[in-house]
């Protein structure tokens, strides 16, 4: 989902603004990540780290969904800022959980496998984003498109609205995934139920 959004942010921004504005949006988003990193380095996350992982994952999904609602530069910039603000916090909390729960002697193998699985979906997202937008969703959300009189009445029609709909679907999917993950006790209680690796060595 993240790969699709990353690929489609520039064309969406260029439909509603110019290259200079796109640069401003990306810079503002980058500042969000820097601030999020500084916050994480000083705050060190919530008491229950899994709440940080899922909570900021939920926030990211909301940001993606909102970014697709309207063709407005300020809304897109704010969504990008908040999304990237939460990334270092969510990933930092996740990394700490993994380091606490995985035995040091196998961390290299486990972390490499984890990274491989997580990264393997990115090329697929990069590959399908353009065709999905150009050949499916943009025609659906054109003035005379199939969704113009239904979804189009809510988010508008015309150039960029197909990408906007993709954003909304990706954001809603992310929110739903996070809610399902939180409702799964084994994941929500992983810090309590799974002993720390260092405790097992004692």
pLDDT of residue 199: 56
Tens digits of residue pLDDT in 131-153: 999 999 999 999 999 999 999 99
pLDDT of residue 81: 95
pLDDT of residue 19: 93
2-191: what fold?
Growth Hormone; Chain: A; (1.20.1250)
- For the chain, which ranges sit under pLDDT 50? none
pLDDT of residue 2: 82
pLDDT of residue 144: 93
Domain ranges for the chain, please list them: 2-191
Secondary structure in 3-state letters for the chain: CHHHHHHHHHHHHHHHCCHHHHHHHHHHHHHHHHHHHHHHHHHCCCCCHHHHHHHHHHHHHHHHHHHCCCCCHHHHHHHHHHHHHHHHHHHHHHHHHHHHHCCHHHHHHHHHHHHHHHHHCHHHHHHHHHHHHHHHHHHHCCCCCCCCCCCHHHHCCCCCHHHHHHHHHHHHHHHHHHHHHHHCHHHHCHHHHCCCHHHHCC
């Amino acid at each position: 989902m993240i790969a699709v959004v990353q690929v489609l942010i520039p064309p969406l921004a260029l439909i509603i603004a110019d290259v200079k504005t796109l640069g401003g949006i990306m810079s503002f988003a980058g500042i969000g990540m820097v601030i999020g990193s500084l916050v994480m380095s000083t705050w060190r996350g919530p008491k229950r780290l899994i709440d940080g992982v899922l909570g900021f994952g939920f926030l990211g999904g909301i940001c993606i969904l909102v970014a697709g609602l309207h063709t407005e530069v300020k809304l897109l910039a704010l969504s990008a800022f908040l999304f990237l603000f939460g990334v270092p916090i969510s990933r930092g909390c996740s990394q700490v959980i993994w380091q606490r729960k995985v035995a040091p002697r196998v961390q290299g193998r486990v972390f490499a496998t984890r990274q491989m699985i997580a990264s393997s979906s990115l090329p697929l997202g990069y590959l399908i984003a353009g065709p999905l937008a150009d050949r499916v969703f943009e025609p659906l959300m054109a003035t005379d498109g199939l969704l113009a009189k239904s979804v189009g009445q809510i988010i508008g029609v015309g150039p960029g609205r197909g990408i906007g709909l993709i954003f909304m679907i990706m954001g809603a999917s992310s929110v739903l995934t996070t809610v399902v993950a939180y409702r799964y006790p084994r994941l929500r209680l992983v810090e309590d139920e799974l002993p720390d690796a260092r405790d097992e060595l004692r």
